[in-house]
């Protein structure tokens, strides 16, 4: 929240003025109608949540994001978290994997296993998921450009374990549009990338019906510096672009829309964040109804995963991050998230240690079992402040979406740099507010101490890259699949317009590596080159 000396002009991160007192007039001036704007939980427009009983029926999934070093070490961390009460896994991949490179690619040097786990082959994926019951544990994979490849690896592992695809549950992020505007781990140009996203929709609707085929991500948009309104608007605009691409393919909206999920940031401005989540649900339901008139109500109900805001964590006084994360997590729960990751106190310094990851998980468990906030479906419904902010965010986000749509849609807004420019301007203004002390960050620009960090830090040993490359080399030497035939078939399918998922799965079965599959598609589709604006 931005502070000024004039208490009457306090504003949220999106610039909404906060009066000293919220009262009924705040809602009346906005034309608030309880029946129209609220409804009941589990009913259109889903302002109050996508399920009637919310956490009384089932707690949110405590999905801790983890992955580092090798598949074996990451598997140990997953088992550690599952033994301590995590109810879903979220896989972090290293940068080479995120951009479809094998670990022995010369461009991967120095990055193997550093910010996530290195996955090159079906053997790596089998090791990563070893001993984890795939029909009982929900698996989320934060992967975008090569999402089709990593999903195919998981499907083949399930096949080898005798687990039917129909019993698998989980999510792939698969949100390529935000990579071009906010994150940068893209491979192919936008048009073929959108084709692959739609291929996944079509394939999973038929073969993996419980799988969430996309997690449209506002998280990285917010981490790049957007406001709350921009996070909602740009995320939903991207979501509409994916829906339209699938409809243009000829898919019935109800065949894929119920499996679309979202991923939002849980930031610092407590009341605005709660309102943001409620506004996003309401606006998505309205937009989907207006444009596509789905018959399945699940196609209207926005479900989302939340993660606490990594960009708010500080290297100074890192113990303070425990409190930041707890408040952000509470905002996500009060806003009605379906799953939640809580960041660890040391993530401004390094990947989390086991002890830090446990504290982050315990934060969620205290929220769920000790605070009482899970007892009500929408505890803050009717709050003058929350309802006013919900209406403000909904209306401002709709205006921004309409501006994007009138200029050609999300893809055009990315290609012409509009979205990147908006995010960059907001990031600049937020940083300027910190530097000028109009925004206080405890331990950074106020309440500072001259002390060095005392937390233990997780370090990734240099042998990790050497050993991973050696494993990959040994895998290539002993594999017995028809590698070249499978890659040639994939190339023909890419050129012909065939759905690529069955061909990628066949390549995985024939022991092709992530880099070989991505490289084949790159030869056909080309590589995206970022443009300056």
- Collect all residues with Cβ–Cβ distance below 8 Å to 207 and sequence separation of at least 6: 165, 166
Distance CA 182, CA 165 (A): 33
Give the model's pLDDT for residue 140: 94
Give pLDDT tens digits for 315-325: 999 999 999 99
Note whether residue 449 is domain-resident.
Answer: no
Note whether residue 482 is domain-resident.
Answer: no
Greatest alpha-carbon span in the chain: 73
Average pLDDT over residues 289-306: 98
Strands 304-308 and 339-341: parallel
Give the model's pLDDT for residue 521: 98
Helix (H, G, I), strand (E, B) or coil at 399: helix
Number of domains in the chain: 1
Note whether residue 173 is domain-resident.
Answer: yes
Please report which helix (H) or strand (E) contains residue 139, including its range: strand 138-142
Give the model's pLDDT for residue 437: 96
Note whether residue 493 is domain-resident.
Answer: no
pLDDT band at 479 (very low <50, low <70, confident <90, very high): very high
pLDDT band at 88 (very low <50, low <70, confident <90, very high): confident
Given a contact cutoff of 8 angstroms between Cβ atoms, the answer to whether 335 and 299 are in contact is no
pLDDT band at 517 (very low <50, low <70, confident <90, very high): very high
Q: Report the phi/psi class of residue 19: left, alpha or beta, with left for phi > 0 and alpha for psi in -120 to 50.
A: beta
Note whether residue 27 is domain-resident.
Answer: yes
Q: Whose CA is closest to 27, among 398, 379, 383?
A: 383
The yes-or-no verdict on residue 8 having pLDDT over 70 is no
Give the model's pLDDT for residue 533: 52
Note whether residue 457 is domain-resident.
Answer: no
Note whether residue 368 is domain-resident.
Answer: yes
Distance CA 195, CA 193 (A): 5
Q: Within its chain, how far is the Cα of 207 from the centroid? A: 23
Q: What is the DSSP string of 292-346?
A: H--SSGGGT---EEEEE-GGG--SSSTTHHHHHHHHHHHHHHHTT-SEEE---TT
Give the model's pLDDT for residue 51: 96
Given a contact cutoff of 8 angstroms between Cβ atoms, the answer to whether 357 and 243 are in contact is no
Note whether residue 480 is domain-resident.
Answer: no
CATH number of the domain bearing residue 322 = 3.20.20.240
Give pLDDT tens digits for 376-420: 999 999 999 999 999 999 999 999 999 999 999 999 999 999 999
Question: What average pLDDT does the chain have?
Answer: 95
**pTM score of the predicted model:** 0.94
Give pLDDT tens digits for 415-464: 999 999 999 999 999 999 999 999 999 999 999 998 777 788 888 888 99
Range of the domain at 298: 7-435
Give the model's pLDDT for residue 4: 45
The yes-or-no verdict on residue 5 having pLDDT over 70 is no
């Amino acid at each position: 929240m931005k502070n000024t000396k004039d208490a009457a002009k306090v504003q949220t991160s999106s610039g909404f003025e906060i009066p000293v007192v919220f009262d009924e007039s705040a809602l009346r001036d906005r034309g608030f109608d309880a029946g129209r704007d609220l409804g009941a939980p589990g009913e259109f427009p889903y302002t109050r949540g996508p399920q009637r009983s919310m956490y009384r029926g089932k707690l949110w999934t405590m999905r801790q994001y983890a992955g580092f070093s090798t598949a074996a070490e990451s598997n140990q961390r997953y088992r550690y978290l599952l033994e301590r009460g995590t109810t879903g896994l979220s896989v972090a991949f290293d940068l080479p994997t995120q951009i479809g490179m094998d670990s022995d690619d010369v461009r991967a040097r120095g990055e193997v296993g550093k910010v996530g786990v290195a996955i090159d082959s079906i053997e790596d994926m089998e090791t990563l998921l070893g001993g984890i019951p795939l029909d009982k544990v929900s698996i989320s994979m934060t992967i975008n450009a090569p999402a089709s490849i990593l999903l195919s690896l998981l499907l083949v592992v399930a096949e080898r374990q005798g687990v039917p695809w129909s019993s698998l549950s989980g999510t792939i992020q698969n949100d390529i549009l935000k990579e071009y505007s906010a994150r940068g781990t893209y491979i192919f140009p936008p048009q073929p990338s959108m084709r692959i996203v739609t291929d996944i929709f079509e394939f999973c609707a038929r073969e993996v019906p419980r799988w969430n085929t996309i997690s449209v991500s506002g998280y990285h948009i917010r981490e790049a510096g957007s406001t709350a309104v921009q996070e909602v608007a740009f995320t939903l605009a991207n979501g509409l672009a994916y829906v339209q691409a699938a409809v243009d393919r000829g898919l019935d909206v109800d065949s894929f829309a119920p499996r679309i999920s979202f991923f939002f940031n849980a930031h610092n401005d407590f009341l605005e964040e709660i309102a943001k989540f409620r506004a996003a649900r309401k606006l998505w339901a309205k937009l989907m109804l207006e444009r596509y008139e789905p018959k399945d109500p699940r196609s209207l109900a926005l479900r989302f995963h939340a993660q606490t805001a990594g960009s708010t964590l500080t290297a100074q006084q890192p113990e303070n991050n425990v409190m930041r994360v707890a408040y952000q997590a509470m905002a996500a729960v009060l806003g009605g998230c379906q799953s939640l990751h809580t960041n660890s106190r040391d993530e401004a310094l390094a990947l989390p240690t086991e002890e830090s990851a446990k504290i982050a998980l315990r934060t969620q468990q205290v929220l769920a079992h000790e605070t009482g906030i899970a007892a009500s479906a929408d505890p803050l419904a009717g709050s003058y402040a929350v309802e006013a902010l919900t209406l403000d965010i909904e209306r401002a986000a709709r205006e921004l979406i309409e501006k994007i749509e009138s200029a050609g849609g999300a893809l055009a807004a990315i290609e012409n740099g509009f979205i990147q420019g908006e995010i960059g301007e907001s990031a600049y203004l937020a940083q300027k507010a910190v530097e000028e002390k109009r925004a206080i960050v405890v331990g950074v620009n106020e309440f500072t101490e001259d002390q060095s960090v005392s937390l233990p830090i997780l370090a990734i040993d240099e042998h990790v890259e050497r050993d991973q490359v050696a494993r990959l080399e040994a895998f290539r030497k002993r594999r017995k699949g028809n590698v070249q035939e499978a890659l040639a078939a994939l190339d023909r399918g890419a050129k012909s317009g065939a759905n690529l998922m069955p061909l990628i799965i066949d390549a995985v079965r024939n022991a092709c590596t992530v880099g070989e599959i991505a490289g084949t598609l790159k030869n056909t589709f080309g590589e995206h080159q970022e443009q300056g604006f």
